[in-house]
Structure 1
């Protein structure tokens, strides 16, 4: 039985806390205990990261609704595919949106019909005015023409008057007869003048009447124009109002067109996670539209991480039938991002969304043989990266599918929709060839089947992966410690070999020095005694001289022994200190190198301030002092006298030889022989005594060297202790991760 979601994260964190607190074997050794505690402190970084991860999972985990994340590259068509699925799967907000689109479309049609009627009415008004205006203008033109004609006729009559008047005057003046006759019988000129004047009056009357008619016609034209202007103003106002209504309705319908969530080609178009809820046969599920992972990831990384932690299935969308690329030293590649983001998931699919922008690209086969081979390579690579979590690939083309089902209004989609339909025949053909309908049907049935189990399996795996990531981090630390420990041990082995070599060299040098000193003792004493013997001394003098020279030689030998041994021990001490110095210097360099190079992508504090377990300098000084004490213990004069007394009897026996008393040559030879025998005897005893003393040096020397070695190996023991704690932590976390993963495989908590 699974744990309830409310308890799961707290229980797991408690288990991890207990695990870390229980690390290390029980010990009474304060130093070992301190090292274990130090290791646990250094685990705090990993512990805090795991705690943060579990808190994030607890915050973002979805336990009730099956959630699908559409994840992938920038401009891969995630939003295009989701928009199409919203339509095909009748997503509630999309249904409401499309209803509003239909309503807005109907309102626009109504407004366009009204506008068309007003525009037709305006056209009729203009035509009617034009006809009337033409008629009135014709009357005006006729009146003006008539007035001009009448004025011309009037001017002609006035001209006649002007011509006839002087002629009449001249005829009257020519004779009295003519003058009188003109009153009773008008002259021809007078008659013509009367006619002209009568005609002028008549013409002026006609001109006046015609002008009045012209004025009336002009007024009629003004009135017609005013009426037209008023009608135009009313209709134009209606048209303007309808145009404003249509403009508003155009803006309004754009709110409800499909494809608004689709990018326009700009990088990072989607910067927040879009969420869409679906329902099919009482099965509820959610699709998340994630920002692209190949744009400016730093501005969307939190959105991506939260959505990934929430999702139970991930579709990795790509516009290329090619494996995602690895990164380099400077930048993280798509493969690394996929591994980092998706390794915690139980179901991951690769969706090849083929880019089709031209109708001739849309074929029933959709992808070529080369693309099929490339997709097999994609499957191989993602299987290696995601293991059994990778479920394979799907092939589709979202853009034509969206054109086949979308409502668009006077935009690029609308133009492309017309082009696709014109060339391919129908929306149904476009949708079928795009394969999105098959994908949609599979998603709402097979994919969401047993969603409750998938939810639990996914959420449990995320916890197991978080713990596994912590275990991997600890493993990485442990590898560093292990590598450091191996290097330190190799250096220790080399240093120990040098210590052993120097210890053997010390014994050899002491032995050589003893041989040299004994040789010096023999040569000096023999030389002195031979010189005295050559002076032909008697036996008693010989004896006294031998004792005297023996004592002098012994003292000189003692002094030489002490000085020589001190020089040898000084060289030994310097050699040991040099080995220790090189060892510590190299060890410190290793530790500093570890501290400087052990860089992790999680919080971890490398080794700091590993103290030594004691004073190595003091240990070396004690070693040399102890060895010196053993070596010089036999330089005590008392010891030398005991050696010297062993030869007295031999010297006396020489004096008892009567023959030697009378024969000086024989006596001299016997004295030299006795001298040689006694010197050799003393030298043998001195050599034996020296060898015994040098043997006595071995144990304190080895004990002291071991003390130096122990002091130098303290840091190795420290690193080893840390290493063991991290090994134990890695093992326990690995086991806990496996247990959580297995628990997620069981039947869900509660009713399915």
Structure 2
């Protein structure tokens, strides 16, 4: 009688449990017993992981959702393709998001229209005021011209009067008769002068009236400008409110643009798995967006593993029409990762996502003969790696497809969208030529057909592969054990070098901080004294002020030294702790071996009798406390006295000269020279004393660093031979794998 899926999982778990307990032979040899216990503990870890995996499968054996994982290289366009499919397949959240985009888009249109109307109204008001001001200015120009004309006429009459006065004087002197006529203003010239004075008076009256008119017109211009300014302020206030509303709407619409899940070119942009659910003709299915496998895989490995375990089919996405590469002894290749991640799956497809970033690259047909040949090589490689699980390749170009259907707003992608549409024609043609439309139709029909049987097939396949992986990797345990010591030694050397480098950098930072503070001391002290000197103080006042400012400046140096060196010490503590943490993390990774090994996909935690690094934290604290005590001892008020004594005792001298008594400029020059000389001497003394105190940190620093190194130096134990136990486990697991395979075949043939 065939077992149900849940019974199969229980059977496998029980078989592995019994297998581990039954390993080994009876012996009185304590060393052999220790080896056997190590092997059992090792396989207990395998059992725990396998049990966890099987429990996960058992829990989801009744899944109704066929799940597809989008797996592949970093920046291969997985998220771009998924985003396009979300739009084409009307994923519920995306559908609602696009609806919100349309709503905000309409409000933006109304806001822009309102702003345009307000600006148009203002432009009309502005034009009216401008015309009025221009008319007033023209009036002023006319009145100024009249003013100039009147002034000219008046001047001419005045000149005429002057000339006549001269002529009258000559006539009166010429004969007695003219003299007598002149007494009674009977000369012809005198009559003309009277008329001229009347003309001048008339011109001045008209000139006064004209000036008054100019003033009135100028006041009207100023009043008009004031009215315009008032309206301008009202306008800008209204525009500011509307533009703020528009800016908020622009920010709001950015929440609903398409493509937010798409990376920006940075490695490891996607670090968590995202799931998107779909429904087509009562068939539920889901798409998983996985992190890239070519980036810093250590930060996303768990996300990738968990997602791959959930999926029933996998699309391996690549931006290159080239076979994945093999690794070497130092690094795992893409082929190795594919085998490790995808060998448990029943359906794996290679998706060539052709990179097209500008319209000139978008051709029809999408790929050429060279790429077709390369894809045949891809098929050959993946057939060898995945065998019957590999279903073949598909070709598309996701970026143009996303541009053809996406909603974007005033960004780089929006500009590209316009460029593609302008140069390539309709969005429908771009979508069709990209291959994504056909891919979408195939996915929601052919791929998800008979999804329940595919889920069952996938679950059984995962059980079988999990056991096969355990069986295959047991033979590699010895190699990992023997390489563990070398890795620990390399880690120890690296950590010791980093500790030494950080110690040297710490001392250098202390010295640099002292140099910076002394420079600030000189500049600040000098500026204060120069300011006092500019007040024309005499030499006695100069000395008093110098002494006062000197004490203040020295105390300021102490405070800055205390703060600065405390910050440097904190940074040093942080860096040392980071080095220690990295060492502990890496050591833990090495000791857990297979847990982080690029060769295996099952848990392995070697149980070795080695020294634990739990005391390192206390040693680091002792290091920081010891070195910090030395540093802070000469920056506290008591310790600082020793340094200050050498500076406080310095005499302030200012050259005396009779000229300096009378000449402030000369005296000020002497005082500045004295300021510079005394400050330089003080700075030299301070620098020397501080450097000597910094040197005192070296010996306690190195002693404490050596203690940290000692705590981090784990006793490296060689790994004992356990091949016999592992071979026995391998044989039993092989038999169990075969039984599971036969059970799965029975399910596929309908023998439930």
1:64–1:57 distance in 2 versus 1, CA, 3 Å: farther
Higher relative CO (Cα under 8 Å, sequence separation at least 6) belongs to: 1
Report how far residue 55 of structure 1 moved.
1.2
Report how far residue 213 of structure 1 moved.
0.8
* Partners of 1:57 and 1:309 within 8 A in 2: no
* Partners of 2:460 and 2:741 within 8 A in 1: no
Report how far residue 732 of structure 1 moved.
3.8
2:83 is aligned to 83
1:50 is aligned to 47
Report how far residue 233 of structure 1 moved.
2.0
DSSP 3-state at the match of 2:330: coil
DSSP 3-state at the match of 2:120: helix
1:458 is aligned to 458
The unaligned stretches of length 5 or more in structure 1 are 481-598, 609-717
Q: CA offsets per residue over residues 506-546 of structure 1, 9 Å max, x none?
A: xxxxxxxxxxxxxxxxxxxxxxxxxxxxxxxxxxxxxxxxx
2:265 is aligned to 265
Report how far residue 181 of structure 1 moved.
5.3
Report how far residue 246 of structure 1 moved.
3.2
* Partners of 2:313 and 2:345 within 8 A in 1: yes
TM-score relative to the length of structure 2: 0.62
Q: CA offsets per residue over residues 221-252 of structure 1, 9 Å max, x none?
A: 11111111122222233333333333333333
2:406 is aligned to 406
Note if 1:730 corresponds to 2:727.
no
User: In 2, distance between residues paired with 1:236 and 1:92?
Assistant: 43
Report how far residue 34 of structure 1 moved.
12
Report how far residue 165 of structure 1 moved.
4.2
2:705 is aligned to none
2:295 is aligned to 295
1:105–1:719 distance in 2 versus 1, CA, 3 Å: closer
DSSP 3-state at the match of 2:326: coil
1:16 is aligned to 16
Q: CA offsets per residue over residues 103-140 of structure 1, 9 Å max, x none?
A: 23222222222223333334333332332222111111
DSSP 3-state at the match of 1:338: helix
1:142 is aligned to 142
Report how far residue 748 of structure 1 moved.
11
Report how far residue 70 of structure 1 moved.
0.4
* Partners of 2:144 and 2:214 within 8 A in 1: yes
DSSP 3-state at the match of 1:352: strand
> What is the CA RMSD across the aligned residues, in angstroms?
3.7
Q: CA offsets per residue over residues 366-389 of structure 1, 9 Å max, x none?
A: 222332232223222212211221
- Which 10-residue stretch deviates more, 181-190 or 396-405? 181-190
1:72 is aligned to 72
TM-score relative to the length of structure 1: 0.62
Note if 1:338 corresponds to 2:338.
yes
* Partners of 1:2 and 1:746 within 8 A in 2: no
User: In 2, distance between residues paired with 1:67 and 1:132?
Assistant: 74
Q: CA offsets per residue over residues 37-79 of structure 1, 9 Å max, x none?
A: 9757624312322322331454587534221110011121111
* Partners of 1:112 and 1:246 within 8 A in 2: yes
| Pairs aligned (count) | 519
Report how far residue 479 of structure 1 moved.
13
Report how far residue 35 of structure 1 moved.
8.1
User: In 2, distance between residues paired with 1:312 and 1:388?
Assistant: 15
User: In 2, distance between residues paired with 1:373 and 1:244?
Assistant: 56
* Partners of 2:375 and 2:393 within 8 A in 1: yes
2:565 is aligned to none
Report how far residue 211 of structure 1 moved.
1.0
Q: CA offsets per residue over residues 691-714 of structure 1, 9 Å max, x none?
A: xxxxxxxxxxxxxxxxxxxxxxxx
1:202–1:5 distance in 2 versus 1, CA, 3 Å: farther
DSSP 3-state at the match of 1:449: coil
The unaligned stretches of length 5 or more in structure 2 are 481-597, 610-720
1:329 is aligned to 329
1:470 is aligned to 470
User: In 2, distance between residues paired with 1:180 and 1:604?
Assistant: 144
Q: Greater CA radius of gyration, 1 or 2?
A: 1
DSSP 3-state at the match of 1:407: coil
Note if 1:109 corresponds to 2:109.
yes
User: In 2, distance between residues paired with 1:735 and 1:379?
Assistant: 28
